[in-house]
Amino acid sequence: MSKRTLLSLALASWGAFALPDEALAQTRQAPVSDDPRASLGILVGVSSVHGGQYETTASQWGYGTFGGALTLAVEGGAWVTPWLSLGGRLGMLRASSDATPTDGARLALASYDLGAYARLGGVLGHRRVRGFLGVQLEGGVQWASIDLRSESTSEATARFAVAGVGQVIVGPVAFGLRVGPRFGSWAGAGGAGADLDLGGIEFSTGVEVRP
Amino acid sequence: MNRKMLRLAASLVASAVSALALEGCPPCGPTDAQAIGEWSFEHCSDASCGFTVESGSTRVTATFHPGEHGLDLAPGTSIVAPVSVAASTLYGMPFVKLLARCDAGSSLSVELGATSTARDAAPDAGTTGEVETLRGTITTTTTWALANQAFVSTGQVRRLNSVRVIAAGAGHCQIDQLEVSVNFYGFCE
């Protein structure tokens, strides 16, 4: 068999294998990108507020614990690598203590935070409906205030949080759950030694657009 | 546990039950606490919140929050307020609950103006008797703390007439949530 014949057979066999793949690729749906460039989302949730020594101090006046809080946040970020997103968030938290028996007044806690986040994780699956699992680290500042009988006291403090992130991604939209601890302390909120522990466990759900 | 130990335990329980049955159960101890004077120092219309300032000066001040108010007592201040109580219902030990803090080197004392009968007077002996002053010292620190002070009479307190708070020392004291109560003692039938 001459060299020319061998070359012809080789080219023919490559074509026989390559042609069906090419045809199949044309009939397949357009591939979904696993590498979004940005994300923009909104989250709502519930959270505990540890309270700390401030709650102990307030209990002497008959105020109960802050109990559960409501949280709301908007976030936006950019994916700098397929597994790392950097962004910023704007959030708020509202909680209220149990009433004092004196006159039924309550301590109303509000916190507004501005910070940055880093999200690490990976997309699972390659179909149109995929999953995302990761962890998000947050750091920033929060402005916390406590209102009582139309009087208010406030303070800016640091805020940190860690959260596990789980999402279901349908096309460019991600629906997710997030849970993790939040850290922060307002030193001397109720006088010397009566620090308000702004930490707690947050559980939130949200929707995110990933264009 | 062997049989001997069980028998010993059973006999001890039986002895205790027999003793209670023979003895009855007086005194039964405090059965109820009735507040007969309360001051939260909220919504005050003057600087003494209804107290009469006998010496020194007072002003309404913020406590752990600007919206929670107490009364600041300057050094050497003495304030007094009448206590209203239905005299016929009073039979027991008075005590005072008070949230307070004092600057270092200062202290608080509380006096109750009382009318008492002899210790062995019958429960229905009425409310006339000798007027006496019951004194107690409130232990304070520089941070807010709840004090609970009982007042012991030489006789039986039948009527409370007044409560007086005195700040001694060179610094200020703050008070809040002042409550004068009486523990009523129960008697077995």
If you count residue pairs, one on A and one on B, with CB atoms under 8 Å apart, how many are there? 54
Average pLDDT, chain A: 87
CB contact under 8 A, A103 and B42: yes
Which one is predicted more confidently, A21 or B128?
B128
Q: Which comes out higher in pLDDT, residue B23 or B170?
A: B170
CB-CB under 8 Å, B143 with A102: no
Q: Please tell me which residue, B87 or A205, carries the higher pLDDT value.
A: A205
Q: What is the ipTM of this complex?
A: 0.77
Say whether residue A147 is in contact with chain B using an 8 A CB cutoff: yes
Flag the least confident range among A65-69, B120-124, B129-133: B120-124
Average pLDDT over residues A50-64: 94
User: For the segment A125-143, what is each residue's pLDDT rounded down to a tens digit?
Assistant: 888 899 999 999 999 999 9
| Contact status of A29 with chain B (Cβ, < 8 Å) | no
Q: 3-class secondary structure for chain A?
A: CCHHHHHHHHHHHHHHHHHHHHHHHHHCCCCCCCCCCEEEEEEEEEEECCECHHHHHHHCCCCCCCCEEEEEEEEEEEEEECCEEEEEEEEEEEEECCCCCCCCCCCEEEEEEEEEEEEEEEEECCCCEEEEEEEEEEEEEEEEEEEECCEEEEEEEEEEEEEEEEEEEECCEEEEEEEEEEECEECCECECCCCEECCEEEEEEEEEECC
Residue A7: band (very low, low, confident or very high) from pLDDT cuts 50, 70, 90: very low
CB contact A194 to B (< 8 Å): yes
Q: What pLDDT score was predicted for residue A15?
A: 42
Distance from CA of B40 to the nearest CA of A (A): 7
| Average pLDDT of the residues in B4-20 | 57
Cβ distance of A194 and B177 shorter than 8 Å: no
Name the minimum distance, in Å, from the CA of A153 to any CA of chain B.
7
Alpha-carbon distance A52 to nearest alpha carbon in chain B (angstroms): 14
Full-model pTM:
0.77
Mean of pLDDT values over A54-75: 95
What confidence score (pLDDT) does residue B153 get? Answer: 82
Kindly determine whether residue B63 and residue A150, on different chains, have CB atoms separated by under 8 Å. Answer: no
Mean of pLDDT values over A157-184 = 96
Closest Cα in chain B, distance from residue A151 (Å):
5
